[in-house]
Amino acid sequence: MTRATASRQIGDTLLKVDGVSLGFGGVKALTDVSFDVRKGEIRAIIGPNGAGKSSMLNCINGFYHPSHGSISYKGIVRGAMRPHEAAKNGIARTFQNIALFKGMSTLDNIMTGRLLKMKRGFFWQCLHWGPARAEEIEHREVVERVIDFLEIQAIRKTPVGRLPYGLQKRVELGRALAAEPELLLLDEPMAGMNLEEKEDMCRFILDVNEQFGTTIALIEHDMGVVMDISDRVVVLEYGRKIADGTPDAVKSDPKVIEAYLGTGHA
Amino acid sequence: MIYREAGQFKTSYAADQAIFPILQDRIALAILLAVAFVAVPLMASDYFLSTILIPFLVFAVAAIGLNILTGYCGQLSLGTGGFMACGAYAAYKLATGFPELNIVLVFLLSGGVTALVGVAFGVPSLRIKGFYLAVATLAAQFFLIWLFTKVPWFVNYSASGVISAPPRAVFGWFVTGIEATPQAKYVFCLGFVAVLALVAKNLVRGRIGRAWMAIRDMDIAAEIIGIRPLHTKLLAFAVSSFYCGVAGALWAFIYTSSVEALAFDINRSFQILFMIIIGGLGSILGSFLGAAFIVMLPIFLNSVPTAMGVPLSTSMIAHMEFMIFGGLIVFFLIVEPHGLARLWQIGKEKLRLWPFPH
Ligand SMILES: Nc1ncnc2c1ncn2[C@@H]1O[C@H](COP(=O)(O)OP(=O)(O)OP(=O)(O)O)[C@@H](O)[C@H]1O
Ligand SMILES: [Mg+2]
């Protein structure tokens, strides 16, 4: 059951991964992987544990640099891009193991997501007055919209370390959303959640995609979720791409059944 | 029922972001400032001003400095004493080299010089973390003290190596040198501390402070958000060293009236570190609480047992000081890393609900 919502527009290629290989010493995490992500779609990356999914996201946002192949974003082939350059170009992400700023409140975590958009220099920051204060308030308004969107008003001032797991995942999504990304990379956003939390998270992902037109690439183990929300799916196994297509096509691909569904993940 | 924000609704984000959002806190601060600036210099004894309050203020500046680097940005430093020495010698060279230069400017420039030195020693922080960085800053500590004792240029070729701070005035009032009264010194120090504390608070509650804390809490995530680790850490080293440098200059010119490297040895670095651990890592208020605690403890140990009829010997006091510090540091590191500042906050939260338990 794929989503063919009429209101959404899938555009041209936003991101193109071309023949990417990546190795760690002897371990080949990725071998000659190619796929593309189109503007406005939800693209899932699936595969058994250790298939190289997280490594793929790390290549896309410049955290790892592929040993072979190229990645082009918005039609421009990128060299060795640093993560902060990826951030500047509108790529945001969440992590498989929550990577929040534990000592900071929900509000400050999400405010930090807007850091690149805040420009006032050191002098004004020292004064916290005039332009710096105006800027702070302007961004606070955006952050409050994110907080409303994710329905986390009640935990605004709570240090994130004290929040339950499911809410932490939600705050992390909020931090990524605060950057108003064009491409949002989600690494197992629903891992470890109960059914209800998963449903909420699915709804947020779909809403982000629909309301803001954000392109999303997500890794997910729950096949039900993947089939429900994604437009197209890439399947990796042992660092190689073994299938690519609509959820229905992928689901019935014998290679995928063999490699992935057969291992008990379904 | 008295201390709470009941009926004080925040109608704007500006109000919500204020340093003291609760009215009672703002009133308390205003009273505190009035007492500190007016009542204390009028009423406190010279002894109290020059042996308790002035060192407390100087320590507070140094503690804020170290707290910015270690508490907010997560970079452990054992070079605080070295950076303070740097500020003290820079102030001495500037004050003697340019006698016309206003003393306020001298202190600020000394901070600036120390900031540059701090940045130079902060460069390795991109590659090394935690324990290894602490060792690198320890190297800075020993190198700087060695430099100031070995190179006679820093002490204007004085034979003894111990030099006294030249007299300087602000608005016609002497604040350094023998003619300066403890009252003038105290008010001058307090002014410095008040402004520097406000600036530090402003930095840590805005964009820059969030970048520091992001690096401290999860540097990988920070980088992916677009925070550049090297820039951010070096800025923390610069600002932190600036504060330590000013503290060193205040120490030498206002507190002891003499510039000597021994005052800034490794023990000083540890002492400031203890202050922020006990006071609260990542808290400006905690820097003050920690400084107050460390200044007050020996005095407390001196006077209270005596008053109770069991006078302690000097060596006993020194030993007890060590034991109490050791115990408290272990306690705070394990139980409450946010120190006295956090205990204070918990107390306030309780007070807010009082007299209802929930
Ligand atoms: N930094 C690293 N150093 C060494 N090996 C690594 C590193 N990161 C990943 N690998 C290896 O690369 C392979 C792919 O790992 P990756 O984390 O990308 O898998 P994954 O598909 O995300 O798995 P999972 O479903 O468990 O999250 C694994 O064999 C892993 O051990
Ligand atoms: Mg993974």
- Pocket (CB within 6 angstroms of ligand 1): A 24, 27, 29, 47, 49-55, 96
Which of A63, A99, A108 comes nearest B210 by C-beta?
A108
Residue A221, both tokens: 């183990």
CATH 3.40.630.190 fits A1-90+181-266, yes or no: no
Q: Which of B16, B202, B207, B228 to substitute to test the interface with A, most A CBs within 10 Å?
A: B207
Q: What is the pLDDT of residue B2?
A: 54
Please check whether residue A177 touches B, CB under 8 A.
Answer: no
Q: pLDDT tens across B137-164, in order?
A: 999 999 999 999 888 888 878 777 678 8
The share of chain A scoring above pLDDT 70, in percent, equals: 95
Better pLDDT: B6 or B198: B198
Flag whether residue A186 sits within 8 Å of chain B, measured between CB atoms.
no
**Which of B201, B216, B224 is nearest residue A83 as measured by Cβ atoms?**
B224
Contact between B219 and B199 under an 8 Å Cβ cutoff? The reply is no
Shortest CA gap A205–chain B (Å): 19
Give the gap in angstroms from C-alpha A92 to the nearest C-alpha of chain B: 7
The predicted model gives B251-269 an average pLDDT of 91
The structure tokens listed for B100 are 């016309």
How far is the centre of ligand 2, averaged over its atoms, from the C-alpha of A97 (Å)?
9
Beta-sheet pairing, B258-259 with A240-245: unpaired
Please determine, for residue A1, whether its predicted confidence score (pLDDT) is greater than 70. Answer: no
- pLDDT value of position B71: 93
Q: Spell out the domain ranges in chain A.
A: 1-90+181-266, 102-180
- Buried/exposed code over A219-233 (b: 16+ C-beta within 10 A; e: otherwise): bbbbbebbbebbbbb
Distances in Å between the alpha carbon of B110 and those of A102, A155, B150, B151? 35, 44, 20, 18
Atom from ligand 1 closest to the CA of residue A53: 21
Res. A2: pLDDT tops 50: no
If you average pLDDT over residues B45-70, what whole number do you get? 93
Residue A6 in this model has a pLDDT that exceeds 80: no
| Neighbour-count burial of A153, counting CB atoms closer than 10 A to its CB (0-12 exposed, 13-18 middle, 19+ buried) | exposed
pLDDT at B7 exceeding the cut of 60: no
Q: How does residue B196 score in pLDDT terms, banded at 50, 70 and 90? A: very high
